[in-house]
Amino acid sequence: MLHADQQSVRVDPTTALPTDAEILAQLDRIRFSTEFEAPERARKFLAYVIEETLAGRSDRIKAYSIATEVFGRDSSFDAQTDPAVRIEAGRIRRALERYYLVAGRKDPIVIRIPKGAYVPTFERHGNAQAAAALDPFADAGPISSVERSRQIWMWGGMAALAFALGGLAANTMLPPTTTAENTVNSNRVRPNIPKLIVTPFEDLSGTPQSAMITRGLADEVVGKIARFKEIIVVTHHKTRDSPETADEPAYALEGRVRIDGGRLRLGIRLVHRSDGSVVWVSNYDESLETHKIIDLQEKAAAAVATAVAQPYGVVFQANATQFTQSIPGDWEAYACTLAYYGYRSDLNPQTHGSVQECLQHATRQFPNYSTAWALLSMTFIDELRFRYRLDPSSSVSLEQAIEAAARAVELDPQDVRALQAQMLTLFFRGEVDAALAVGARAFAINPNDTELAGEYGFRLALSGQWRRGCELVSETVARNPGPVGYFESALAVCSYINGDYVAAERWARLADLRANPIYRVILLAILGKLGKTDQAHEEQKWLEANVPGFLNNIRKEVALRIRRPEDQKRFIEGLREAGVSIPEM
């Protein structure tokens, strides 16, 4: 374990608190930075809570005051039923975290909005850095908190990575015939992917009970991380001073367990082994009195695995940050998978093409890399479901998707990303029961994979199991540490079918996938139900300009996605009310 005296960061307890002038200067630095990726309303939100705090009115900073004074809501605003302020606060937290990891690394003042509150905190940069690095038992919130696991996500950087890799693939694409490169790599299951060592957890309490819980927790964490195929977990390694190679774990997961007064606290930190730097820290608290020990170990381990190992988890985030600077040649194929998740942030057709080329290149380099085949399959599915091809009658994408998904499952039947791809190909081929059966199998293998859980939930919902499916999608939005626009748009559909059109519009606006045609269709139906005809007309104009002829066959498009006739009818009603001409059957 690393100890405080081994860290390069030192805290000077005599350092004075930031002055009001310094804080306001930092606010301006953030607000006017292109790296602070937040809409104008979020910028006003941040300015409001800071100015109120500096004016000594922090006790007035409530959801109601923010909604009425910043968002312009009327006095009927109810924070219990309207999550607008809470959602915007989460967006600001993510934008601040990204800012300080990109443009603000050396800024003198760190501004945060702690989870669960709207009153900001202010620290000098050295103090904030040291507090996070030295004390995994600091009160940073439970590890299941989405905001903690989002703390180093590179939103813009991942999109840049997708474009860069597209250029790389375009310049190095191999012909489909067998080449020397295929022969050399044909026996390699996968390219370099992150390797993580889980070190024995440290028992700080020294009792028989704490020793048993500590051993069990470490075993559970290893088992749950191993279910994520985009990372390799090991339990034995060389010393940290050994030179780092492709076969050596780049990261170490360290844990400390303390039992105090009937409560368990698990402190976790992820360390880069090359220099001992702390990449991420968090903690998990639970009462020993309310859970059986085995259940408690499983719950804590699931939270750790979800935060660390899933797509958009902290290991992925750390590598995404590194690869936006430069991509080592022997990591190109893995970087293509990172680029795929970057593309998922906005589902932009331009990024889609670059990522698809990169994944095609990866599967030619490493024909036994199941995850690359699965992600490639999903890019083909996206051509179909998001109408990236100009010819809507083309079946090429679906055929290619089916072949790639089958290859992925053949290579690794336990890879949930492969099963996710197979589920989608079956769904869009019209074999709904088979698709849901595959989704259920994947979910049973790894219920902690929120990407799979959300997509499976959306398939359930669109098949008519709205309540169960929408619950899974909602859980994904709460737990997924990466961009969730796609799943927010799914919740817009859930709210629409439930008849809550106000909530549906709120979710659609949050998703903000403006380059995606299906997003526009969802918003169009919602605006129709709300009677917002002018806005609906703008959406219809965009569709006619960017996907000409798409609305002419909209009934078939709806039926491809929403499976029950009664649900199709309800959705088409909204489109008609928005002004779309749809003939009766």
Is 560 or 82 the better-scoring residue by pLDDT? 560
Rounded mean pLDDT, 96-107? 79
Concatenated DSSP letters of 162-219 = HHHHHHHHHHHPPPSS--HHHHHHTT-S-----EEEEPPPEESS-SHHHHHHHHHHHH
Is 63 or 83 the better-scoring residue by pLDDT? 63
Helices (H) and strands (E) in the chain, counts: 25, 8
Close Cβ partners of 103 (under 8 Å, ≥ 6 residues apart): 33, 34, 35, 36
pLDDT of amino acid 104: 81
Is 413 or 386 the better-scoring residue by pLDDT? 413
C-alpha–C-alpha distance, residues 384 and 149, integer Å: 32
* Segment of 59-73, 146-160, 276-290, 488-502 carrying the highest mean pLDDT: 488-502
Specify the range with the lowest mean pLDDT, choosing from 32-41, 179-188, 568-577.
Answer: 179-188
Is 278 or 460 the better-scoring residue by pLDDT? 460
Is 219 or 127 the better-scoring residue by pLDDT? 219
Rounded mean pLDDT, 509-520? 87
Percent of the chain with pLDDT over 70: 81
Is 391 or 14 the better-scoring residue by pLDDT? 391
How much is the mean pLDDT over the chain?
81
C-alpha–C-alpha distance, residues 110 and 125, integer Å: 6
Rounded mean pLDDT, 357-384? 93
State how far the alpha carbon of 86 is from the alpha carbons of 47, 51, 61, 351, in Å.
16, 19, 13, 30
Close Cβ partners of 565 (under 8 Å, ≥ 6 residues apart): none
pLDDT of amino acid 190: 64
pTM, full prediction: 0.71
Q: Which CATH class is domain 142-331?
A: alpha beta
Rounded mean pLDDT, 187-192? 64
C-alpha–C-alpha distance, residues 90 and 42, integer Å: 10
CATH 1.25.40 domain range(s) in the chain: 455-585
pLDDT of amino acid 84: 79
Burial of 513 (0-12, 13-18, 19+ CB in 10 A): buried
Residues in a beta bridge with 271: 252, 278
pLDDT of amino acid 391: 53
pLDDT of amino acid 393: 56
Residues in a beta bridge with 260: 263
Burial of 521 (0-12, 13-18, 19+ CB in 10 A): buried
pLDDT tens-digit series, residues 289-310: 766 778 888 888 888 888 888 8
C-alpha–C-alpha distance, residues 375 and 455, integer Å: 14
* pLDDT over 80 (residue 133): no
Helix (H, G, I), strand (E, B) or coil at 277: strand
pLDDT of amino acid 11: 35
Specify the range with the lowest mean pLDDT, choosing from 81-85, 172-176, 493-497.
Answer: 172-176
Q: Within 10 A of 566 (CB to CB), how many other CB atoms are there?
A: 9
pLDDT tens-digit series, residues 305-336: 888 888 888 888 778 767 766 677 778 888 88
pLDDT of amino acid 126: 63
The CATH number that domain 455-585 falls under is 1.25.40
Rounded mean pLDDT, 141-152? 35
Comparing CA positions, the residue from 375, 365, 327 lying closest to residue 168 is: 327
CATH 3.30.160 domain range(s) in the chain: 142-331
Phi, psi angles (nearest 5°) of residue 269: -145, 145
pLDDT of amino acid 390: 45
Comparing CA positions, the residue from 530, 528, 537, 543 lying closest to residue 577 is: 528
pLDDT of amino acid 132: 43
Rounded mean pLDDT, 60-89? 85
* pLDDT over 60 (residue 135): no
